[in-house]
Amino acid sequence: MKKRFSDEQIVGFLREVESGEKSVAQRCRDGGFSQPTFVVWKKKFGAMGEGELKRLRELEKENGRLKRLLAQRDLELDGVKEFLQKK
């Protein structure tokens, strides 16, 4: 699923509403997203700052890399098991 807004943009929307610059309804109308979407974003990103958001992104990348390494290792182990069973 492709995201329409980056995490930084979402945090920016949340900060605009928190600072009182715009109401939730106005921000949603201007941004072209629904209020339920805004609520989901607030649950996910509500208390995050810029540094935390960057750290979250780094951890997600690292997690993906580790998952790929684990899948590759599992495939190699399956190959070795099959080879040993044939002997």
pLDDT in tens, 42-58: 998 887 777 888 888 89
Query: What percentage of the chain exceeds 70 in pLDDT?
Result: 98
Q: What is the mean pLDDT of the chain?
A: 88
Q: Give whole-number Cα distances, 1 to 5, 40, 48, 87, in Å.
A: 12, 16, 23, 45
What total of structural domains would you count in the chain? Answer: 1
| Domain membership flag for residue 71 | yes
| Domain membership flag for residue 64 | yes
| Domain membership flag for residue 1 | no
pLDDT at 66 over 90: yes
pLDDT at 39 over 60: yes
| Domain membership flag for residue 2 | no
Do the beta carbons of residue 74 and residue 29 sit within 8 Å? no
| Domain membership flag for residue 65 | yes
Span 14-28, average pLDDT = 87
26 is in which domain, residue-wise? 7-86
pLDDT at 1 over 60: no
| Domain membership flag for residue 58 | yes
| Domain membership flag for residue 49 | yes
